[in-house]
Structure 1
Amino acid sequence: MPLDSNSTDPRELVIIGAGIIGVALAEQLQHRGHQVTLVDRDSPGRGCSYGNAGHFATDVVLPLANMKTILSVPKLLLDPLGPLSIRWGYFPKVLPWLLRFAAAAAPANVEKSCQHLRALNGRSIESYDRLLGRTGLTDLMTKRGALTVYERPDSVDRNQATVDLLREYGVEIESLSGDEVRALEPALGKGVVGGLFFPRTAHTANPYRLVTALADRFQNSGGEILQGEVVGLQQTADAMDVRLSSGRSIRSRRLVIATGAWSKVFAEQLGYKVPLDTERGYHLMLPQPGTNISRPLVSFERSFVMTPMEEGLRLAGTVELGGLDAEPNFARADILFDHAQSLLPDISNTGAHRWMGLRPSLPDSLPVLGIAPHHPRVAFAFGHQHLGLTQAAITAELLADELEGKAPEIDLSPFSIKRFQ
């Protein structure tokens, strides 16, 4: 059902969720001439979009669910502050997700996910060029590539199969010696013995400012942003009603659910079961790092990333499975400084502050995108896991095409919620 751009009452289109996905989609639809309302319980960008690593990780085309990950899980879980941990009280709830994750690691499933992730990521930078170009925000994307660094000589061989696979899927990678890595990033210590350079990636120096600047331009161009907690959805004969906790109800001809890790409850209200859970991610922000790098640095052995930002140096990473409600374990943020100190000898944590966010993750590492099978007035855009920032602009273009009744550049059927029904 194409959008009706002449409709004023009820609203033409409401997007629930003002993170990077929702805001990028709102801007895209507005750019095409539609009237859009954004609704979120918080101000734009205050959720997962606030504290991500700022890395447009176009090289990440291998799903998290793969046999290498599965085989490493027992060892990883022995370290409570390692790259992966599970809140054991949450284990019974996350077990169905873990079983689906294991099934997604079958080679045939991994190959399909690689193809679909590559389809999105391969168009990511170009779509951001269009988005940031027309909004005057090109300064918020820096194209200096990214580095993965090795501290152990045997890591080169251990990672070679993955490197070969990434190259098969079109990811451009340059292998570097330790000295060549330090020529790019002189702050790195002598413990770095080699690395990989990914020239087709990029980063933003302020992911929160990216979202808020886009939201400001959307609002200044006539878009509406409402702050309120959505508590229910109801379909009527010719619209969708969005009920807020205040008692207010917003009626819209079309509705997009882009609420990240909270999207499951809204999908369920409409009768769709989706195995969405959250990977709790932490960052440590160093406002006075005492050292400088010029691009994202990923540690192969330690599984975390360091990104230079306007506010200092951000250390981010690790995965914790513990649901939406558990209190943060900020020791998982603090440990990132110890890791960073092994790579950047002159680093300082003076004034450091910690943050925890909730990544919306599905077992096959693919987002849910597209119009709902049984609710033509509803569309989904959630579950981008670690790649929400990377895939936001291309998601907006593809979903806007489908909402307008056009054939998207990429077939969205592999991302449909139907795959879980």
Structure 2
Amino acid sequence: MTTPHQPSSTPSKKTLAPSSVARELPRDENARPLEHFIPIRKADLVRILSNDPGLELHERESFAHFCKLLEATLHHDFHSHLDELKDAYAPFDPDAEPKPREKLTLEQRESHAQKLFQRFDELMTKANFRRLSDEELQYSLNTSNESGVTITANLDIFDRLDIYVRGDVIGKKTVRNWSRLGKPKEVEICTYQRLAVMFRLKPGADSKQPIDPSAVVLKLFKNIPKSDIEMLLPGTTVRMTLFDKGKIIIPTLSGVVITLVKILQGAVALAFASLHGAVAFLALISGVFGYGLRSFYGYLNTRDRYHLNLTRSLYFQNLDGNAGVIHRLLDEAEEQEFREVVLAWWLLRQSGFAALTSEQLDRATEAWLEKQLGLKVDFEVSDALAKLQRMNLCRELPGGKFRAVDLEAALVSLDRAWDSQFEFNQQAQSTLPIRRAA
């Protein structure tokens, strides 16, 4: 199996690269592409809509019932998705307890793995994540990280590597540098608010990590700088830069050269003329090599500080792992679907008898989000309308226009849909064996 993010042109080493390797997204927030994700809690959105002047006082209780029925219906749908994903992931979950009893052949494992990758990709789409492109991964691999150390990222160990991101923002970080005499300074950093990694190692790959190659590993992180993505992957090592090597080698060599020059000039003969001269000569030699040794240990201390900072960062930036990632993302996807359906129905309802086209609903929803909540979002109108139609919460009229059903009709539709989830099939009942009394 090939790795989606490992084309032949992608480097497997992290080095300082020219800016032309990958183009950075604009730092101007107004110029950055908008995302589908609506960053507001479900409960907060319901509260805001319930207090909207467009909703009559006598309708607020009905609207609360509408939201509860919609929430229950979506939760039931996503519960089935959860069971399917859990079942697909069970053979590859390194933390599974208990383990699946069914033993799969190599062909069956590969078929199950392909199904898992497809289902997980669908989940990430529902949660409004996007797959990281090869160019963006290359940018990370070829950009010096914020810790100031150079990382070697070996992508050859991966049989499969998928990286998903959401929330491309400009974050801020406090740093200290010598130009400001160690004073703290706040700098802007291009950051992903959420980043998910899904990978499987090649059999026999030397990653120096205690990971079963047959397992599929899932990780979810928050607030990850774009230049630090490779630090989240196994098989990465810290290596010395030319500057680090120069700090060690150049002072040592220069000291050796100076010492040799003095020897050739006959300084040694004079130095040994007295005990003090011999001590001075030995001190000179020791100082030369001692400075190089000090530089080397300075590099080791820098590397240790990097590992410590990485451990601290991952401790606070790691949100979940393996099966926990599936649970968390399904919950986020469920809330996102709720927000999309409620907002689309609300804005159609607000238009009254003036039905809206898909484009008009899209603009109206985005304008409402920006005006009422200060959120700039690329509303996924086609997906929202598809859900409304499936739940009979809107009607399509001639001319490609849509009109929301009124609140009472919406309650009836949702109640009927909810009841049908648990309706006992009479035909199925007739096929069940009859239990006779003893």
Higher strand share: 1
Larger radius of gyration: 2
Give the shorter-chain TM-score range.
under 0.3
Higher helix share: 2
Please, what TM-score do these two structures have when normalized by structure 2?
0.24
